[in-house]
């Protein structure tokens, strides 16, 4: 598979390169960056030093590739297609939020929900990182029409979730030894979560989703803790989740509490369940740059080209 990347200097592109350099069926044709053109990739993504001699390009040829990854900021994908014409047969995986409503022929790329639809698609809108963690925690309940009462969501993310450009809330002296809430009840990922869970619930109305996102004092990962009323016992809930994810390549239901370090540096999502009175507590953990972005993008690429979902993604967690 001949691959092109637009927006190659950011965190998601760096992780994408780390995976694709070692992917047995991938050939990277170009990595475009308007800000870093002509610069060796390892000058920006220093973790790849010794693994590649690629440089960032100032131009690109969409006819020379089989799949294009769009890794620029939100809104840039729309602008890109206003300025360029997609070549016949070119598959596209967009890591921005521009087409997550499945407009313009895009398919929402959450394999645990839409594996078959993804496999037959041409255009993929890769999910958001918070959206992935939250949806994987709630898909089995929505699919069983069991989201009946208000859902409380608290999720904390690492600093890489804010992107590579520094800001007042991402630099070390502010982030270190600090936790803060932001965009309370208004985070942009709620839009795609609400849309998709509503589709799953069907005629059963979706209850209010109260989402409090938080910034953590660590670099990568998302820990989501969710609770809602549920009529199932803990054993019944575990069976529901086990059945739903029995064929999932990277999402697993844990018999014990989950830790963030179990998934950092992997494309996995781990889920744990506890029942307390009427409340079901669901915790999910992912790496925001992998299952929440670049790893899931490669998982989607594998599905598009008929490969095993694990190809290039057998990564070990940094669990100690």
- Residue 87 in tokens: 């070549």
pLDDT at 133: 98
- Assign 274 to helix, strand or coil: strand
- CA dihedral of 85, 88, 94, 96, whole degrees rounded to 10: 20
**In angstroms, rounded to a whole number, what is the distance separating the alpha carbons of residues 293 and 313?**
13
**In angstroms, rounded to a whole number, what is the distance separating the alpha carbons of residues 10 and 177?**
25
CATH code of the region 2-126+293-304: 3.40.50.720
Q: What are phi and psi of 223, to 5 degrees?
A: -115, 115
- Global confidence as pTM: 0.95
**In angstroms, rounded to a whole number, what is the distance separating the alpha carbons of residues 130 and 185?**
13
Tens-digit pLDDT profile for residues 53-78: 999 999 999 999 999 999 998 899 99
CB 221 within 8 A of CB 233: no
- Residue 273 in tokens: 């369940």
pLDDT at 320: 76
**In angstroms, rounded to a whole number, what is the distance separating the alpha carbons of residues 270 and 272?**
7
Tens-digit pLDDT profile for residues 103-115: 999 999 999 999 9
pLDDT at 167: 75
- Assign 159 to helix, strand or coil: helix
CB 307 within 8 A of CB 25: yes
Q: Which helix (H) or strand (E) holds 209?
A: strand 209-215
**In angstroms, rounded to a whole number, what is the distance separating the alpha carbons of residues 170 and 185?**
21
- CA dihedral of 30, 119, 25, 128, whole degrees rounded to 10: 50
**In angstroms, rounded to a whole number, what is the distance separating the alpha carbons of residues 8 and 14?**
7
CB 10 within 8 A of CB 164: yes
**In angstroms, rounded to a whole number, what is the distance separating the alpha carbons of residues 121 and 91?**
8
- Residue 103 in tokens: 């407009």
Examine the residue annotation and report whether 129 is marked as an active-site residue of this protein: yes
pLDDT at 266: 98
**Of 75, 99, 20, residue with least CA distance to 52:** 20
Domains in the chain: boundaries: 2-126+293-304, 129-286
Those residues whose C-beta lies under 8 Å from the C-beta of residue 62, and which sit 6 or more positions away, are 4, 68, 84, 85, 86, 87, 90
**In angstroms, rounded to a whole number, what is the distance separating the alpha carbons of residues 264 and 219?**
10
Q: Which regions of the chain are under pLDDT 70? A: none
CATH says 129-286 is which class?
A: alpha beta
Choice among 71, 129, 269, 283 that is catalytic: 129
Which residue is it, tokens 């809430």?
181
């Amino acid at each position: 598979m001949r691959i092109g990347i637009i927006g190659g200097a950011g965190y998601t592109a760096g992780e994408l390169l780390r995976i694709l350099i070692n992917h047995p069926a991938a050939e990277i044709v170009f990595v475009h960056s308007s800000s870093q053109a002509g610069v060796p990739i390892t000058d920006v993504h220093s973790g790849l030093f010794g693994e590649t001699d690629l440089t960032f390009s100032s131009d690109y040829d969409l006819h020379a590739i089989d799949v294009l990854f769009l890794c620029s900021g939100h809104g840039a994908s729309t602008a890109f297609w206003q300025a360029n014409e997609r070549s016949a047969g070119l598959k596209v995986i967009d890591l921005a939020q521009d087409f997550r409503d499945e407009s313009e022929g895009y398919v929402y790329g959450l394999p645990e929900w839409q594996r078959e639809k993804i496999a037959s698609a041409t255009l993929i809108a890769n999910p958001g990182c918070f959206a992935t963690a939250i949806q994987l925690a709630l898909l089995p309940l929505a699919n069983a029409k069991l989201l009946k009462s208000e859902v409380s969501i608290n999720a904390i993310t690492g600093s890489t979730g804010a992107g590579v450009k520094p800001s007042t809330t991402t630099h070390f002296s502010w982030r270190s030894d600090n936790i803060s809430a932001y965009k309370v009840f208004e985070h942009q990922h709620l839009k795609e979560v609400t849309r998709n869970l509503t589709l799953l619930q069907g005629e059963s109305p979706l209850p209010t989703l109260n989402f409090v996102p938080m910034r953590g004092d660590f670099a990568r990962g998302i820990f989501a803790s969710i609770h809602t009323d549920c009529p199932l016992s803990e054993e019944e809930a575990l069976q529901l989740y086990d059945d739903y994810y029995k064929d999932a390549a990277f999402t697993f239901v844990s018999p014990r509490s989950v830790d963030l370090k179990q998934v950092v540096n992997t494309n996995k999502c781990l889920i744990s369940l506890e029942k307390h009175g009427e409340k079901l507590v669901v915790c999910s953990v992912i790496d925001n740059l992998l299952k929440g972005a670049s790893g899931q993008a490669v998982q989607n690429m594998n599905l598009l080209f008929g490969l095993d979902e694990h190809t290039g993604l057998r990564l070990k967690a940094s669990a100690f």
